[in-house]
């Protein structure tokens, strides 16, 4: 049986789908390169916004229109939030809630036993991740959330926070490195909440896990995803620098921190149920940037919600000014979307759609200016670029501090890392070779709808 994997939503969803792909291959299935070539379509759905839920429904129906014999399996947050609605969708053959996602491959085998065509290829077929080619792989270290942010549906769809065993994470990372992956991205709902037993019966958090991975695996680069600003462990700053800290050779931890802001207005943050102020957030940013010269080029990215219930014009202006003052490398901006079952869905004074649309346009302009300013600050510096994909003779890669780099060459750079000088700005990327020509597509900033947290 040939399986095609589709993903909507956050990096956590993508990490789960990559893991499912490896499980399918190990079980004797093959991963189809296109939906039209598949016998089975697995969709990891999202419901963080109403748009994400709508897109999940559309994607679920798409495969059956292409192939009337295709089997479709839905899993993920939309399925967990609306199980009956998901199961009733035309063309859907099986739904698997988040709590049962680890058993998905077995459930597929049981549900479609008569349709399974065993693959005769060896089981060590390399599985290529969905987005980054053979350069980066995502590893889930925790799931769920114990926060009660007013806007967030994740505690409903993913349950209480729980962490993976550190030993299993180490084994998975080393296995991926052995398959040729240079960078590992640690992901979860909120990885700063990671709490699990580690060696010698100790208790450890994210810092201890990062130290283990740097010490016990040969991973070339380790990248962190969303961190709650009130949970940021200052010891991570030492690992962002070069040299040795706590017996661990540092410098392999990517200079990129995603600190979830959600709003730059204290009144809005209070209604959201976020346990910090903008002053505390700004003080943390200053501490990070002033810690060590080696950390000054760290890329700080964030999430910001526009149009949360009760957000007045003055509150939005305050949030906009704060976002502009921080100097983020990238802002993931998205309009507030009411989710059934959350506190915010019942709050008074909803912001009208046309107002949210105008505010989004202004925030996106601030985000564009901030990203361009950050990229300009990198011109002339040297950085390691991990090359990911090629289009029209131009290779695209990323530095450890989240700068998109481009280079024209006929050589196959996929999965390779090279030291490059960042020469000149080209749209939303930086050229590292003077022979580069502009891509045949407009420069743009990609804004995604991340899992809140």
379-453 in CATH: which number?
2.40.50
Please tell me the pTM assigned to this model. Answer: 0.87
User: Looking at residue 387, what is its pLDDT?
Assistant: 94
Of the candidates 321, 336, 242, which has an alpha carbon nearest to the alpha carbon of residue 278? 321
Per-residue pLDDT tens over the stretch 302-340: 999 999 999 999 999 999 999 999 999 999 999 999 999
pLDDT in tens, the chain (453 residues): 889 999 887 889 889 988 998 899 889 898 888 888 889 999 999 988 888 888 888 888 888 788 888 999 999 999 999 999 999 988 899 999 999 999 999 999 999 876 544 443 333 334 444 555 578 999 999 999 999 999 999 999 999 999 999 999 999 999 999 988 999 999 999 999 999 765 555 568 999 999 999 999 999 999 999 999 999 999 999 888 765 555 555 579 999 999 999 999 999 999 999 999 999 999 999 999 998 887 778 999 999 999 999 999 999 999 999 999 999 999 999 999 999 999 999 999 999 999 999 999 999 999 999 999 999 999 999 999 999 989 888 999 999 999 999 999 888 998 899 999 999 999 999 999 755 554 433 333 332 333 334
Distance, in Å, from the CA atom of 167 to the CA atom of 146, rounded to the nearest integer, reads 24
DSSP structure class, residue 127: P
Q: Where are the domains of the chain?
A: 2-115, 136-377, 379-453
User: Looking at residue 114, what is its pLDDT?
Assistant: 61
User: Looking at residue 227, what is its pLDDT?
Assistant: 95
Task: Give CA 1 to chain center in angstroms.
Answer: 29
Percent of the chain with pLDDT over 90: 66
User: Looking at residue 126, what is its pLDDT?
Assistant: 40
User: Looking at residue 218, what is its pLDDT?
Assistant: 94
Per-residue pLDDT tens over the stretch 186-228: 999 999 999 976 555 556 899 999 999 999 999 999 999 999 9
What token pair was written down for 284? 């943390």
CATH class of the domain comprising 2-115? alpha beta
User: Looking at residue 248, what is its pLDDT?
Assistant: 57
User: Looking at residue 396, what is its pLDDT?
Assistant: 94
Of the candidates 9, 92, 94, which has an alpha carbon nearest to the alpha carbon of residue 45? 9
Q: Which residues of 157-176 are buried (b: 16+ CB within 10 A; e: fewer)?
A: bbeebbbbebeebbebbbeb
CATH class of the domain comprising 136-377? alpha beta
Whether the CA torsion 333, 338, 341, 344 is positive or negative: it is positive
Distances (CA, A) of 63 to 14, 51, 298: 19, 19, 42
Contact 374, 367 (CB under 8 A): no
Q: Give kind and range of the element (H or E) at residue 375.
A: helix 353-377
């Amino acid at each position: 049986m040939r399986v095609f994997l589709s993903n909507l939503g956050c990096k956590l969803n993508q990490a789960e789908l990559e893991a499912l792909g490896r499980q399918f291959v190990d079980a004797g299935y093959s991963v189809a390169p296109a939906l039209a070539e598949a016998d089975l379509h697995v969709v990891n759905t999202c419901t963080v916004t109403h748009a994400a839920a709508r897109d999940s429904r559309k994607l679920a129906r798409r495969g059956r229109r292409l192939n009337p014999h295709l089997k479709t399996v839905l899993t993920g947050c939309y399925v967990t939030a609306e199980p009956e609605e998901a199961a009733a969708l035309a063309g859907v053959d099986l739904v698997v809630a988040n709590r049962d996602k680890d058993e998905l491959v077995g459930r597929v085998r049981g549900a479609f036993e008569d349709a399974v065509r065993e693959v005769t290829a060896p089981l060590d077929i390399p599985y290529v991740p969905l987005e980054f080619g053979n350069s980066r792989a995502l590893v889930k270290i925790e799931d769920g959330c114990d926060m009660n942010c007013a806007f967030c549906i994740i505690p409903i769809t993913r349950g209480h926070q729980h962490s993976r065993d550190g030993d299993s994470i180490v084994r998975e990372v080393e296995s991926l490195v052995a398959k040729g992956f240079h960078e590992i991205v640690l992901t979860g709902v909120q990885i700063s909440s990671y709490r699990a037993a580690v060696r010698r019966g100790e208790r450890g958090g994210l810092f201890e896990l990062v130290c283990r991975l740097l010490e016990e695996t040969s991973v070339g680069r380790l990248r962190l995803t969303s961190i709650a600003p009130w949970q940021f462990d200052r010891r991570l700053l030492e690992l962002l620098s070069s040299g040795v800290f706590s017996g661990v050779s540092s410098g392999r931890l990517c200079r990129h921190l995603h600190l979830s802001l959600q709003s730059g207005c204290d009144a809005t943050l209070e209604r959201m149920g976020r346990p910090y102020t903008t002053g505390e957030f700004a003080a943390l940013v200053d501490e990070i940037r002033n810690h060590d010269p080696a950390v000054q080029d760290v890329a700080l990215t964030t999430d910001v919600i526009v149009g949360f219930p009760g957000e007045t014009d003055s509150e939005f202006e305050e949030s906009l000014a704060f976002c502009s003052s921080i100097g983020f490398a990238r802002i993931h901006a998205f309009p507030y979307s009411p989710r059934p079952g959350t506190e915010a869905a019942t709050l008074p004074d909803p912001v009208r759609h046309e107002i949210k649309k105008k505010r989004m346009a202004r925030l996106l302009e601030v985000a564009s200016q901030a990203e361009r300013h950050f990229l300009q600050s990198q011109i002339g510096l040297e950085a390691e670029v991990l090359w990911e994909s090629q289009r029209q003779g131009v290779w695209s890669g990323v530095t450890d501090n989240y700068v998109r780099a481009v280079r024209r060459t006929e050589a196959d750079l996929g999965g390779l890392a090279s030291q490059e000088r960042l020469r000149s700005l080209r749209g939303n990327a930086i050229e590292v070779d003077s022979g580069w020509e502009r891509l045949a597509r407009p420069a743009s900033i990609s804004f995604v709808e991340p899992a809140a947290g």
